[in-house]
Amino acid sequence: MGPSPLLLLVEDNEDDLFLMMRALKNAKVDLPLRTASDGQQAMDCLAAMETPADDSTGALPVIVLLDINLPQISGFELLAWIRARPKSPNLIVIMLTSSNHPMDIRRAYELGANSYIVKPASYEQLLEFARLFKAYWLSFNRSPV
C-alpha cells in the first residue's frame, strides 16, 4: 500500500459540504481532507500539491469529490483542467452532483471522471455512500503508483 491519499472535497454548497464531511467522519474515513468552495480554490490546492520541492517520489495520490455546479469555473472545466495536466495519474475524480442528466453523466466520463455519483437524497444514503466509498476506493481499488 502506498501513502494514504488526500481527499479534496470541491463543493460550494455549505450544507452539502457539512453533511458530506459529517457522513465521512461517521463512516470513519480518516484521510487528510481539504475543501474548496470553487474551482479556483481547487486548482490552487492541486497545483500546490503537485510541485514537491525536491522530492522525486512524485505527488501524493489524491481523490477529488467534485460537484458540477460551481461558481465561475464549473466542475467540468475543473475536470478538464485536471486531466490536461501531465502529472496527475494518481488523481481519482468522483463526480458528486445532484444532476442525473444523461448528458452530464456522459460528459463527465468523456472528460475522464472515474466515477459519477448522484447526491443521495437522505442522510442515511449519504452515510451508506461514505461507507461504500471507504470500502471501494480506499480498500479494494488499486491506483497506479
Partner 1 sequence: MNKLDMPGRHSTLQSEKHAKSSFIPSPVESTSPAPNEEKINILLVDDTPAKLLAHEVLLEELGENVVRASSGRAALEQLLKGDFGVILLDVNMPDLDGFETAALIRQRPKFEHTPILFITGYNTSDLDRVKGYDAGAADYIFLPVVPEVLKAKVRVFVELARKRKIVEAQAHALAIQNARQQEQIRTIQDLNQQLIAANEELEAFSYSVSHDLRSPLRAMQGYAQALIEDYTGNLDPKAEDYLHRIRRAALRLDALVQDVLAYTQLSRTETRLESIQLDSLLAEIIQESRVLKQARASVRILPPIHPVLAHEACLTQCMTNLLENSAKFVPAGRLPEITVRTELLESRVLVWVEDNGIGIDPKHHSRVFQMFGRINHSNHYEGTGMGLAIVKRVVERMGGAVGYDSQPGQGSKFWINLAQGSS
Q: Which helix (H) or strand (E) holds 16?
A: helix 14-26
Q: Which of 37, 69, 74, 115 binds partner 1 (CB under 8 A)?
A: 69
What is the distance between the alpha carbons of residues 144 and 26, in angstroms, rounded to a whole number? 28
User: Which residues make beta-bridge pairs with 63?
Assistant: 7, 92
Nearest-CA neighbor of 49 among 81, 21, 77, 88? Answer: 88
In the complex, the smallest distance separating the C-beta of residue 19 from partner 1, rounded to whole angstroms, is 4
Given candidates 35, 40, 74, 99, which one binds partner 1 under the rule CB under 8 A? Answer: 99
By CB under 8 A, residue 15 contacts partner 1: yes
Q: With binding defined as CB under 8 A, does residue 100 bind partner 1? A: yes
- Please tell me whether residue 126 binds partner 1 under the rule CB under 8 A: yes
The smaller minimum CB distance to partner 1, of residues 22 and 134, is found at 22
